[in-house]
Structure 1
């Protein structure tokens, strides 16, 4: 005889997610108490953190609403914008080092001795 999946109602999932997010219980302790995998309460906490009271609509199944579908790409864009800003800052910083001649022995050698092509002129 096979046993079906356990189903938890919305209020139960919200309570579990709040307990994890507040630090009241660890994911490991909660999963052991419920007899479920660690990934389940971790997923509930993530969904609740991202979607708030819109998480677990209906019978508790995760259904993504349109606001959440927009929020995820916005988060990604914000992360990429931060990354681009860091890269711009790094590029500006490294070009300042280059302008000061840090590690550029080629330019020093070119100034100290004229090349053969220009020596005869």
Structure 2
């Protein structure tokens, strides 16, 4: 059986229970059926990266982040062109 993978929302919620609700790591980890060391690691990642934590390779690899930003801009530009065409030809 492979390693369990948790999504960003789950990790953020777990970290917030400890940091904002002042619950104990051991208590939260037990309730969520995760190892306390896992939760400590998520907290460390959050404290280091803030809101960009848990974005997979994006928070680790700056080159990947740049590629995603370029793709995002290209997709937005394509959407804008499509919208302009629609408006132009709908008249």
Provide Cα deviations, 1:37-96, integer angstroms capped at 9, x if missing partner. 1101111111111111110004xx684255xxxxxxxxxxxxxxxxxxxxxxxxxxxxxx
- Could you state the TM-score of these two structures normalised by the residue count of structure 1? 0.44
The 1:20–1:63 alpha-carbon spacing in structure 2 relative to 1, beyond 3 Å, is same
Partner of 2:5: 7
**Number of residues paired by the alignment?**
62
| Residue of structure 2 equivalent to 1:64 | 60
More helix by share: 2
Please provide the CA RMSD for this pair: 2.1
Structure 1 segments of 4+ aligned residues over 4 angstroms from their partners: none
Relative contact order: is structure 1 or structure 2 higher (C-alpha 8 Å, sep ≥ 6)? 1
Partner residue in 1 for 2:16: 18
Q: Which residue of 1 aligns with 2:43?
A: 45
Unaligned 5+ runs, structure 2: 63-91
